[in-house]
Structures are given as structure tokens and as C-alpha cells.
Structure 1
Amino acid sequence: MTVRSLLSQKALHVESGVTLSSAGREDMALELGGHVLMIAVDRGQHRMRFTLPAAPRWDDTGEALPPEVAGELRAIITEIAVFWEQQPEFEVVEPG
């Protein structure tokens, strides 16, 4: 696992190039190559529950995330959450 802290609430997953940062109390911003995916999050004590779309798409373009990122989304988020000393939990929601 190679995660680097960029700011107090922003981290870089080095292998994928993805950054994850706080975007308020109930959201995280996942960024890659200038694109953003907002992820709902419920924060608890030492845990974070992420609500992920079943078919993730960038919020700015509506295009699907690259397969190498989409297929590893949970693993990427897990590595960053563990770096922040948080236990990640996931809920996947279908569109519509």
C-alpha cells in the first residue's frame, strides 16, 4: 500500500493516481485526471461507510470510470481509509 497525505483530509493513492478528499461532512471527492466522483459517506468513530454506485461514472462528464479504477474502487478507498486509521464499510446502490 502506498498512500501519501497531501493535506489533513486529502490523500493520494500512489499506484492508481487517485486522490480522495473530504468534501463536507457527508461527502468525499474521488479525483483522477481532472475528473471527480462524489461519494456519500457516513462517518462514525473509527469507521467510514461509503455509498458507491454500482456503475460509477464521473460527475462532470457522465463517463464511466476507467476499468482499472472502477474494478479496484473498493481496494483503493480501503487503502486510503486504513491510512487514515478508519475502518471502511461499503454500500453499493443501483442507479435509478
Structure 2
Amino acid sequence: MTVQELLSQKALHVESGVTLAGAGREDMLLQLGEHTLMIPVDPGLKRMRFTLPSDPRWDDNGEPLPREVAENLRAIITEIALFWDLEPEFQIVGPGRRNS
């Protein structure tokens, strides 16, 4: 597994350098370097639904995520979720929409 726990609700995906951390009950914060992306979540018992944008862009500057991260975003989140003993589910929404 390529995930390392940093704090109780923060983990590093070693291969990509992406961290994912709890940011309240209904959000997770994805971070790479200084850039951040808030991801809405719907937590459940042993599962978590992540709502991802179809065209992911950093919240801080509006730039697209690096291609290697964007193309593997679900896989990165899946590895971290499984590390936390959660079964991930994904909902994809169009640009500019947080929930559908």
C-alpha cells in the first residue's frame, strides 16, 4: 500500500504526493503542495461517497489539477479510503457544481 498516516484523519498517498484530510463531516480536503481541492462527501457506515467534479480544478487558483493527478484521482482516493477501512463510492458532477 502506498498510503501513510500523517494524523488521525490525514493521510499521504506516497506515489502522488497527495494528502487527503477530514475537513468536517461533509468535506474532505485534498492537497498537493500549496494547492487545495475541497471534496464533498457523504459518510456512511464503512463507506464514503466522494462527489468529484468532472473537470477538477484547484480551489485556490482555479487551475486544473496536474494531468497525472486528475487522471488517477479516483484511484488515489480509493487507496486512501481503503487504508481508512472505508469503501469508496464516487459521484461525478459537472463543472461548477458541488452536488447534484
TM over 0.5: yes
Normalised-by-shorter TM-score class = over 0.9
Unaligned runs of 5+ in 1: none
Q: Does 1:77 align with 2:95?
A: no
Q: Does 1:57 align with 2:57?
A: yes
Give the secondary-structure state (helix, strand or coil) at the position aligned to 1:64. coil
User: Which consecutive aligned stretches of 4+ in structure 1 deviate over 6 angstroms post-superposition?
Assistant: none
> Aligned residue pairs: how many?
96
* 1:91 matched residue in structure 2: 91
**TM-score under structure 1 length normalisation:** 0.98
* 1:27 matched residue in structure 2: 27
Cα deviation per residue 1:4-51 (whole Å; 9 max; x = unaligned)?
A: 000000000000000000000000000001100000000000000000
The one-letter code sitting in structure 1 at the alignment partner of 2:22 is: S
Give the secondary-structure state (helix, strand or coil) at the position aligned to 1:65. coil
The one-letter code sitting in structure 2 at the alignment partner of 1:39 is: I
The one-letter code sitting in structure 1 at the alignment partner of 2:63 is: E
The one-letter code sitting in structure 2 at the alignment partner of 1:81 is: A
For residues 48 and 34 of structure 1, what CA distance do their matches in structure 2 show? 25
Give the aligned CA root-mean-square deviation in angstroms.
0.6
* 1:18 matched residue in structure 2: 18
* 2:42 matched residue in structure 1: 42
Percent identity of paired positions between Structure 1 and Structure 2: 73
Unaligned runs of 5+ in 2: none
**Deviation for aligned residue 1:95:** 1.8
**TM-score under structure 2 length normalisation:** 0.94
For residues 95 and 10 of structure 2, what CA distance do their matches in structure 1 show? 27
Give the secondary-structure state (helix, strand or coil) at the position aligned to 2:81. helix
